[in-house]
Amino acid sequence: MTTPEHSPLGRAVAYPSQYDPTLLFPIPRQPKRDQIGLPSPPPFHGVDIWNAYELGWLDARGKPRVALAEFRVPADSPNLIESKSFKLYLNSLNQTRVDSSEALRAMLAKDLSAAAGATVSVVLLPPSVSHAFQVEPLAGECIDDLPIAIDHYGPPRADFLAVDDQRRTEETLVTHLLKSNCPVTGQPDWASLRIAYAGPRIDRAGLLRYVVSFREHNEFHEQCVERIFLDLLRRCVPSRLTVSARYTRRGGLDINPFRSNVPGASADNPRSVRQ
């Protein structure tokens, strides 16, 4: 398997006009997990939710069809899928005839599961469905208006994280100030972050400084969330922890990693106003 640096991912490429599953570019998760010292198996379960807003194909008579799509890639899959390759793959369907929406869903699930190395679920919704991708605020208390000075924007500083051992709490905190950069293209990746935990009270000023310290950091969405989860787990020692991020879309796709050590916790898919 080649690395992103030796692939066409960071270069100008011709957009395909016919179905081509070989465009999907899987990237092994384990090397980055080894780099941050994530144990195996990892101390979380989770999923990467992808939402697609620019999915189109031709039906059996050649008439264009469109749909919204939700893809769920399990966090225990051996590979993540690089986002530009995902977009190129979806674009390769634009002039491809498919017998039915169900045939398309099955084809997408087969190709993406092969790339991820685990079963990827696919849900297709017509754009006329009123409940699809409803915009709603992220549940939790926003910490973005704290009156603090910040002068460090990378690399991530886990030592900014601190707790009050004398105060225990259960709360959900939200910040819209997470930004990192794509390690392939260098483009900015913007996200809203939600942290739900139980344990010693996390110092909010330190947490906000920590989140902003990703601002000039190069890492994929999924890897950023896993780094945040592990840093919080190590530095703050919560008994329960769930970290999720809602990234803004690029090329018609948004990526939303979810990691939790809470048994039975499942990821919802609330579309934020920034998405």
Active site residue 182: yes
Spatial distance between the Cα atoms of 264 and 120, rounded to a whole number of angstroms = 19
Given 48, 111, 189, 254, the catalytic residue? 189
Per-residue model confidence as pLDDT tens digits over 225-256? 999 999 999 999 999 999 999 999 999 999 99
**How many CB atoms sit inside 10 A of residue 250's CB?**
17
pTM: 0.92
Burial class (CB in 10 A: 0-12, 13-18, 19+), 40: exposed
Per-residue model confidence as pLDDT tens digits over 76-108? 999 999 999 999 999 999 999 999 999 999 999
Given 111, 182, 224, 254, the catalytic residue? 182
Spatial distance between the Cα atoms of 68 and 73, rounded to a whole number of angstroms = 17
Spatial distance between the Cα atoms of 139 and 263, rounded to a whole number of angstroms = 20
Cβ contact 77:118 at 8 Å: yes
Cβ contact 25:238 at 8 Å: no
Active site residue 189: yes
Angle at 146 between CA 140 and CA 147, to 5 degrees: 170
50 has a pLDDT exceeding 80: yes
Cβ contact 195:243 at 8 Å: yes
Per-residue model confidence as pLDDT tens digits over 102-142? 999 999 999 999 999 999 999 999 988 877 678 888 999 99
